[in-house]
Each structure stands twice: as C-alpha cells, then as structure tokens.
Amino acid sequence: MSRFFATGSDSESEESSSADEITPKATGTTFNKQALLLSDDEEDTKRVVRSAKDKRFEELTNLIKTIRNAMKIRDMSKCLEEFEQLCRAFLKSKAIVDKEGVPQFYIRLLADLEDYLNQLWEDKEGKKKMNKNNAKALSTLRQKIRKYNRDFETDIASYKENPEQSADEEEEKEGAESGSSSESDDEAAGEGSITAKSFMKKKPEPATEASRFLKTAEDESESDDEDDDEDWGSDSMDSGSESEDNEGNTASLAVAFLKKTQDADRQTSSRRPKKTKQKDRAEEEAEEEPEGEDGEWREVKGGVPMVKEKPKMFAKGTEINTAVVVKKLNEILQARGKKGTDRAAQIELLHALAAIAEENNLGEGIMVKIKFNIIASLYDYNPNLAAFMKPEMWKKCLDCIDELLDILFDNNNIFIGENIAEDSESLGISDQPFRVRGCILTLVERMDEEFTKIMQNTDPHSQEYVDNLKDEGRVCGIIDRLLRYLEGKGSTEEICRVYLRRIMHTYYKFDYKAHRRMLGLQGESKSEQDQEESEGEDSAIIMDRLCKFIYAKDRTDRIRTCAILCHIYHHALHSRWYQARDLMLMSHLQDNIQHADPPVQILYNRTMVQLGICAFRQGMIKDAHNALLDIQSSGRAKELLGQGLLMRNMQERNAEQEKIEKRRQVPFHMHINLELLECVYLVSAMLLEIPYMAAHEFDARRRMISKQFHHQLRVGERQPLLGPPESMREHVVAASKAMKMGDWRTCHSFIINEKMNSKVWDLFPEAQRVREMLVRKIQEESLRTYLFTYSSVYDSISMETLSEMFELELPTVHSIISKMIINEELMASLDQPTQTVVMHRTEPTSLQNMALQLAEKLGGLVENNERVFDLKQGVYGGYFNRDQKGGYQQKQGYQRDQKSGYQQKQNYQRGGLQVPDSGLLLRIVKHSRTVTGGPAFSPRLELI
C-alpha cells in the first residue's frame, strides 16, 4: 500500500519508511495524519523571527553565491553587476560589521575573486576569445577589486597565510550561532509544539575499524558540500522556501519536518572541524605504515605500482657483440613514436646501451649510430613543433653533438651519409671503414632551430634569457666544427647549408673590435691588446669569404638570396653604404622578393631598414627616406620586421595562423629598435618635407613626400594645449615648426638634447659623428626654408649675413644658393662683387595665387559643362569619341576647329562656360608672358 495514504498498519508504515530514506520515524509511534494537518489560516499566520544580523548576512551570502556561479561560467558582466550590489549590501550592514567584525566568508570571496581575476588577466588566449562586454567587464572589475581590497589588506593577508584555519574559525562561529538560534526557536515554539528532535533517529554507534574505509566517499562528498556552502544556515532557508512552495499539497507535517532533521544531521556533521579529519587521516596513515613494512600492503600512486628497478638490457650470460647491440637498438627504436611510450625512459635506455657498447669495446661505428639515435630521441621528446626543449634536454643535446663530432674528428675511417642504406652499413670492427647511415648536418640544423625556439619562448627581460643567450657561443662553436668537418668530407650543397647557418649567426652582430682597429684605438690594458692581436679574422672578412662561396657554388635560389641579404645587412651595419647599396641594386632582389617565403621576406625587410639607417648615418637623407618609406608607411613595421604581432580580429587571422606567425618571430637580441627607426624616418621626412612645403606653399597640386609625417603634424596642430614636447614624435613636430620659421637653433635644440640622446642618438656606434651630421643638415635645410619663405620680402640679401645667421661657411652658403638658382627653385641672381643675392619679383602674390587656383577650378567646371551640353544636344560616345562637328577626335588630341577655339599652339588658353538658355559665354583668359627670371601670370575673367 502506498505510503501517501493515512490508513494502514504499523508494518506498512515501517515498510514505507524503509523505502524512503528521507522519512525516518521513531519506533512504536504512529500519528494520525488529520491530527497533524494545519489549516491554511494557521500557515498564513506562521512567522519566523530573525535578527537583523541574520538578514544582512543572508543577503550577503546569496550575492556571494551568485558571484561564484558567474565565476564558474566566466560571466564577467554578471560578476561585475553582482559585485556592485554586494558592495552596496555590505555598506548597508556597516553597523553590524562594526559590532561583529568583518565576516570571514566576505574576506574569502574578496581574496578568491582577486586571484581569479588576475589569473584571467594573464590568460592571453582566453582574453582573445572573450566577447566585447566580458572583456570590458573584466578590466573594470579588476580595477575595482584592487581598489576595494585596499581597505581589507590585513584581513586578506591573514586569510591567505592560513586559509584552512580561517575556514575552521568560520565553521565554529557558524555552529555556535546556529546552536543559539535553534535554542531560541525551541523556546518560541512552546511546550506543546512538535519539533524536529522528536523525529530524529537515534545517534548511530561509532564506526568500526573496517568500516572506516567504506565511509571515505561519504566524507569526501560531505566535505565538498561544506566547501560549496559559504553561508550560515542557507540550506535551512532553502528548505523553508520549499515548504512554502508546497502549500496546498496533502503531505503530512512529519515529512516537512523530516527535511529539517536531515539539515540538523548536516549541521551536526559540519560542526566537526576539518582538523579532526586531518588527524584521522594522519592516524590512518600511521597505522598503515607498519603494514607496509611487514609486506602485506604497499602504497601506490594512481593505482599502478611504480617500477623502481631498471629493466635489464641483456640476459645474464649473453655474449655482447655488435649484432646483439644492433638488435637491441632496433627493439628500442620500434617503440619510438607509439602511443604510451615513455620518451624519457627511452633516452635512458639508449644511454645505457651506449655505455654497454663502450664498455665492451664494440667500435666507434656502433657508438656513432647510437649517438645519432639519442640525439633524434631528444628532438622527439617534445612532439609538438611549437614547444621548445627543456633546459636539461638542451644541455644533453649539446653534449651528445659535441661527443659525436669528437668521434668523427678522431676517426677518419667513419663515413656517414643519408645515401647509405641500412643493409649496407658497416658497424663492426674490421679492416673496412665504418659506414653509418645518418646526417650530422641535419642534426645541427635542428639544434639551431631549437635554440631559436628557446630564445623565442623566453622572457627577454629576465635573467633566464641572458643565461640562454650564453649558449649561442657553444652553438656557433658546434657549427664551426661541423664546417671544418664538411669542408673535408662534405658535398658542395652541404657546405653551402652550413655556411648559411654560420652567416645567420654573424650578420646582425656589430664587430666592435674591428671598429676600434679601424679607428686606430687600442685596448686600455696590455691583456686587451694581446687579446685583440690573438683574435682571428674580422667578421667582414668571414662574411665575404662565406658569401662569395655561396654565390659561386649554390644551386638553390633561397640560400643565395639569404646570403646576399645577410651580406648587405652586415655592410650596412658597419656603415659601408656604397658596397651595400651596389650589392642590393645588382642583385635585383626587389623585383621578385614578393614570391619568396615569409622568413626570407622578413629578412629582406630587416635589410632594407638597416640600409636606410646606414644611409641616414652617412648623411644620405633622401636615400634613407626612400629605403624606410615602404616599411613605415604601412603602419605595421613591428609585424613586417618579425618583432611581434599586432592585435587583429579572429576573422583576419585564426589561432593556427597566429601560431605559425609566432614561430617566424625574430629573437629579441636580433631586434631593430623601432623607436630609433621611426625617429630616423621622421627626421629624414622633416629635412625633405619642410623646404618643399615652403617652396610650394601656394601650389594647389602640391604632393606629399611623407604621409606619416603630415599625419604627425596634423596631430600636433589639433592639440588644444601645447606644452613642452615629451615623446620622440612631439620633439620632431616641434622641431619641424621651428624649421618652418627658419629658426635652426630651436630646431636643433628639439632634435638633439639629453632626452633624444638617451632614446635614439646614443644607440648609434658613432653617436657624436651622427649628431654633427644632423646639425649640419638642419642648418642647410633651415637656410633653404628661410629663402623660400622670405624671398618675397627681400630685394637683396648679403651672403655674409646668411652665413652668420645659420653659422655656415660662406662657400657652403654660396653653393646652396647656386643650386637653388640652377634648379629654378629660387628666382634670383648672384652679384659676385658685393656677395649679395638679388631677388627677382617674379613670384606671384597671394592674390595672384588665389586667382590661379580659381582659374584651375573653373577650367574643370568648363570641361564638365561642355560634356553636359554635348549630352543635351544628343552627341554621345564619350569624351574622346566625338564626331567631326564636335571636335576632340582621339587622333587630334585636344585641338578643336577654328570655330570652337582652344588652339593648342596659341600662347593662351580659353575655356568656355556655355549657358544654353541665355546664350552667354563665361570665359577665363590665362595669359602668360615671359620676362627675365621667369613667367608672370595675370589671369582675368571675361564675359562675352
């Protein structure tokens, strides 16, 4: 019979209670259902009296629960909204907090939330996948929580030092409060009321020693429940709300109270502190230890016993010879690459096999073969291409390659190569030379790539990067040894490959010792002088020898292209401008570089940038600007030089493409300073653009030499408040404004000062020479700008005055002015006896310039008007395909018949604006007459 019906015997009630674990009942007691039912009026009048503290803390705990749920699903917007509500609720309960103290659960949330936000902030990949609202909310919430937690620094610090102790204190406090609240509820209920204690089961007997292991799962589930519950009495509140939702159901009152009985059980279990659990576990471990010593039990990890003994390589009494070792080697290699293979153990087995072979003197051939496989296994330790080798594996790899090269150098009778088949290998000791299948060059190339990956994945601003960079000397040493080995035994193709590896480690390094020798400087001490004398060739000689061999012998375009670019880069780095420029022009690389692979294109971009910087150091301002124009005008110099990735949308570049591009990045020690690059470009643009702007001030068709420079000028003009310049760009803009006025001293002070020296100019090898060149260029271009700007003011000006104003030698001033007159940039003549510049009044005034601009615009209007008129008259076919009546035949060019005017051979041009209704013709006549010194213009409007 169903347990939901009131009638039935005691046995039936007992069966129903055993079937439903949630409804335990005292033995020998039955209740009449109708007697226990309450009326609706009584349920409506039931009230629960709670203190203000309970109300406030319940509100806080509910908000904390919502925040934690939002943290689990990474909903930052919800977290931010609930955190703001939590702050307001905490402010409301300030009076209670001042009296009782800040609750521990509130401190725990603040600490956990701050750690959680910091972890999310450091996860770059996760931030990219966030939507816009969540990313914005994450940034806002991170700032708010850091600011908010300053008021609770001591509490948070104490919590982080001992989180378990603080959690235990909170549980004890919770238990004490819940006990006091239950006593108050009992007093309020009265003597005749039915409480939950009357329906409680008897306390079970303590568990035996054997049953202790069976209850571990329940303990873990209870501990999980305790961790999830971060409030005081929240479950009891939930049960109350559930009972209110079930109003109108015919369930008995006992069932409603039985839920509270279970809550009481949970409260009693939660009052047990975690320390007692830890003590119990420690006692269990202590009891288990002697059992392990007797041999009956043994503690294992992960359910699988750890194998401590190394497997034996060979059975006892086996004769160790070459065939047995090769067979064992093949057995080890068969497991390579299979799923579940322990790669570290495989490397150890190979090392053990090498030790056995060496111990039994099986010859150098078998040792070389084992070394080849050890190095290959070290490379296979990381199956992911993007992952880099661990430091210990990297050291092992370098040691193994050194040992392999030692064997090859000590034994000339060992021949290695990829073309040797495994069947034709000769590994045993005999009169024949050893023949081993393998390629030492491939191993060294892979080692070089691994070194690059290690440098790419190391923080460049840490000491670890410096320590890793010290290994480059060892890498270059290995490459040099391999180079000497292959020069004697390698093919031409292999020699070209290893030469390129050596070049790639040399081309970007400035040879300071060769530079000192070129300047005639010697070391300060005797030891330094002896060291300089004992050192080998200069890097320029080494680069020249290696590159010329590749030019002559290489058959692949890629190696030759890389060698040419590295050679140009090295020339430019050492200020050999003409050699670098000639090599670049003769190679014609700029014609087909777009078909090369991305690493070669990055190398080309780096070479062009270095070429431009070299031209700037030599004073070739125009060449420097032209070389840097393509890189700087794109706005992606960082990406084009392989020095970092710009933030893009996922649509433009997916995650796989981003990984590929990251592998192409240049290590930090090879970077070109982007601020120096931009400064060189902007200063070059300033020295070219400012005189050009002054010369073509009223030219409507004036072109821009540098769009980026004009953009910086517009940004500077838009600033409402102009203060002293701070950044490099602001210094260049301020210097440009001073140069535009012809004030070279102010321009010089903005370009060369302590701040600019530390940021840019001191980074050059010959910093003082560069600064002197810059001062000279600023003086010369300021002189040209001054003459362009103020030539209309002067009738004549003395060259001595100009020489004093700009602190230039008189021959230099004479040369600059002569060039301007010859190039027809300045309408003037030189009077040699008086050493003056006589100006010609041939430049149009501002009114004339405006009239010329109006004439050009009206000329365009005339042409449009004629097209519209022809279409209205029914003449179709386009501008150049008219019939003979309309003129403008394609073969005749712009000549029209005599009736229409516009003769091309006349000295003036006319344009007509036809008005069909009135018959009036508006005509612009732009006369030109030639006078001594240049043309003068006098446009006028005529109405016919």
Confidence of residue 243 (pLDDT cuts 50, 70, 90): very low
pLDDT averaged over the chain?
Answer: 75
Rounded CA gap, 682 and 830, in Å?
34
Of 274-288, 396-410, 413-427, 891-905, highest mean pLDDT: 396-410
Instruction: Tell me if 95 sits within 8 A of 56, measured CB to CB.
Output: no
Compare 467 and 228 and report the one with higher pLDDT. Answer: 467
The reported pLDDT for the residue numbered 649 is 60
Pairing of strands 934-943, 909-914: unpaired
Residues 6+ apart with CB under 8 A from 42: none
CB atoms within 10 A of CB 148: 17
| 632, amino acid identity | Q
- Tens of pLDDT, residue by residue over 314-324, are 767 677 888 88
* Phi/psi of residue 627, nearest 5 degrees: -70, -35
The reported pLDDT for the residue numbered 251 is 43
The reported pLDDT for the residue numbered 600 is 94
Nearest C-alpha neighbor of 565 from the set 519, 607, 617: 607
Compare 828 and 44 and report the one with higher pLDDT. Answer: 828
In angstroms, the Cα distances linking 533 to 120, 517, 526, 848 are 56, 10, 11, 71
Confidence of residue 842 (pLDDT cuts 50, 70, 90): low
Cα of first residue to Cα of last residue in the chain, in angstroms, is: 119
Mean pLDDT of 830-847: 83
Residues 6+ apart with CB under 8 A from 377: 336, 343, 346, 347, 350
In angstroms, the Cα distances linking 344 to 333, 338, 759, 852, 862 are 13, 14, 48, 83, 85
Rounded CA gap, 611 and 575, in Å?
9
Does residue 156 carry a pLDDT above 50? yes
Instruction: Tell me if 148 sits within 8 A of 142, measured CB to CB.
Output: no
Does residue 559 carry a pLDDT above 90? yes
Task: Give the CA angle between residues 390, 396, 400 to the nearest 5°.
Answer: 145
Does residue 429 carry a pLDDT above 90? no
Confidence of residue 302 (pLDDT cuts 50, 70, 90): low
Nearest C-alpha neighbor of 610 from the set 551, 705, 680: 680
Does residue 441 carry a pLDDT above 80? yes
The reported pLDDT for the residue numbered 484 is 92
- Tens of pLDDT, residue by residue over 507-522, are 999 988 888 887 776 5
| 742, amino acid identity | G
Tokens of 630: 């393509």
Compare 720 and 11 and report the one with higher pLDDT. Answer: 720
Rounded CA gap, 732 and 746, in Å?
11
Q: What percent of the chain has pLDDT over 70?
A: 68
Mean pLDDT of 243-251: 44
Rounded CA gap, 850 and 858, in Å?
12
The reported pLDDT for the residue numbered 815 is 93
Tokens of 98: 């001042």
Mean pLDDT of 877-898: 41
Rounded CA gap, 452 and 448, in Å?
6
SS3 readout for 806-855: HCCCHHHHHHHHHHHHHCCCCCEEEECCCCEEEECCCCCCHHHHHHHHHH
Rounded CA gap, 888 and 49, in Å?
102
Task: Give the CA angle between residues 743, 701, 863 to the nearest 5°.
Answer: 160
Pairing of strands 828-831, 836-839: antiparallel
Rounded CA gap, 771 and 760, in Å?
11
The reported pLDDT for the residue numbered 768 is 92
Alpha helices in 654-798 (DSSP H): 655-663, 674-695, 707-718, 728-740, 744-751, 754-759, 767-790
Does residue 663 carry a pLDDT above 50? yes
Confidence of residue 731 (pLDDT cuts 50, 70, 90): very high
Compare 689 and 901 and report the one with higher pLDDT. Answer: 689
pTM > 0.85:
no
Instruction: Tell me if 111 sits within 8 A of 105, measured CB to CB.
Output: no
Mean pLDDT check: name the lowest of 151-165, 242-256, 422-436, 757-771: 242-256
The reported pLDDT for the residue numbered 185 is 45
How far is Cα of residue 907 from the mean position of the Cα atoms in its chain?
Answer: 64
CB atoms within 10 A of CB 512: 9
- How many CA atoms does the CB half-sphere of 15 hold within 13 Å? 9
Domain ranges across the chain: 52-161, 322-490, 673-717+724-839
Compare 413 and 31 and report the one with higher pLDDT. Answer: 413
Mean pLDDT of 863-882: 68
Pairing of strands 909-914, 414-417: unpaired
Mean pLDDT check: name the lowest of 144-158, 273-287, 715-729, 731-745: 273-287
Does residue 528 carry a pLDDT above 80? no
Mean pLDDT check: name the lowest of 8-22, 138-152, 355-369, 696-710: 8-22
Rounded CA gap, 143 and 121, in Å?
11
Does residue 576 carry a pLDDT above 80? yes
Rounded CA gap, 99 and 108, in Å?
20
The reported pLDDT for the residue numbered 164 is 64
**Torsion over CA: 243, 248, 249, 250 (sign):** positive
Nearest C-alpha neighbor of 170 from the set 64, 284, 49: 64
The reported pLDDT for the residue numbered 280 is 53
The reported pLDDT for the residue numbered 320 is 82
Rounded CA gap, 37 and 39, in Å?
7
SS3 of residue 722 by DSSP: coil
Rounded CA gap, 596 and 9, in Å?
93
The reported pLDDT for the residue numbered 717 is 86
Confidence of residue 28 (pLDDT cuts 50, 70, 90): very low
SS3 of residue 873 by DSSP: coil
Instruction: Tell me if 394 sits within 8 A of 471, measured CB to CB.
Output: yes
Confidence of residue 570 (pLDDT cuts 50, 70, 90): very high
The reported pLDDT for the residue numbered 236 is 41
Confidence of residue 603 (pLDDT cuts 50, 70, 90): very high
> Would you give the DSSP letter of residue 618?
T
Mean pLDDT of 424-445: 83
CATH number of the domain at 673-717+724-839, please? 1.10.10.10
Confidence of residue 362 (pLDDT cuts 50, 70, 90): confident
Confidence of residue 904 (pLDDT cuts 50, 70, 90): very low
Mean pLDDT check: name the lowest of 59-68, 109-118, 185-194, 756-765: 185-194
In angstroms, the Cα distances linking 779 to 682, 684, 804, 865 are 17, 14, 11, 50
Confidence of residue 262 (pLDDT cuts 50, 70, 90): very low
| 899, amino acid identity | K
Mean pLDDT of 583-606: 92
The reported pLDDT for the residue numbered 738 is 92
Confidence of residue 536 (pLDDT cuts 50, 70, 90): low
The reported pLDDT for the residue numbered 226 is 45
Which residue(s) pair with 417 in the sheet? 437
Confidence of residue 716 (pLDDT cuts 50, 70, 90): confident
- Tens of pLDDT, residue by residue over 111-152, are 999 999 988 888 888 888 888 888 888 989 988 998 898 888
The reported pLDDT for the residue numbered 832 is 87
> Would you give the DSSP letter of residue 421?
-
Rounded CA gap, 778 and 621, in Å?
11
